[in-house]
Amino acid sequence: MPAVSFYLPEHILKALREEARTRKTSVSRLIRTAVEAKLDLEKRKRAKSEFLKTIRSVSLGSWNEAHKERTRESDDRG
């Protein structure tokens, strides 16, 4: 895995080291996990946004039409 270097304020690095000791892991693994979680969250937000945009663009008819269709489908299952 490629390495990346960056600078952190001393108090943040100290907190990361303490957290890494508590979790019995490395600082780099702690940072990597946090970055992956953040990227995954952003990906899920974009997917949700696209899904909602698609749903809003589809004509599902009125509530009464949907209810009538659902009732008819339920009757056919019996």
In the chain, the percentage of residues whose pLDDT exceeds 70 is 92
Cα–Cα distance between 44 and 9 in angstroms, integer?
30
Considering the domain boundaries, does residue 23 fall inside one? yes
- Residue 73 within a domain: yes
| Residues 4-58 pLDDT 10s | 898 999 999 999 999 999 999 999 999 999 999 999 999 999 999 999 999 888 8
pLDDT of residue 78: 58
Instruction: Say how far apart CA 18 and CA 24 lie, in whole Å.
Output: 10
Query: Per the domain annotation, does 1 fall within a domain?
Result: no
Q: What is the pLDDT of residue 75?
A: 65
In the chain, the number of structural domains is 1
> Is residue 31 one of the residues assigned to a domain?
yes
DSSP code for 60 = -
- pLDDT confidence bin for 76, thresholds 50/70/90: low
Please check whether residue 46 lies inside any domain of the structure.
yes
Query: Per the domain annotation, does 53 fall within a domain?
Result: yes
Residue 30 lies in a domain: yes
pTM value is: 0.60
Q: Tell whether 2 is covered by a domain.
A: no
Structural domain span for residue 19? 10-77
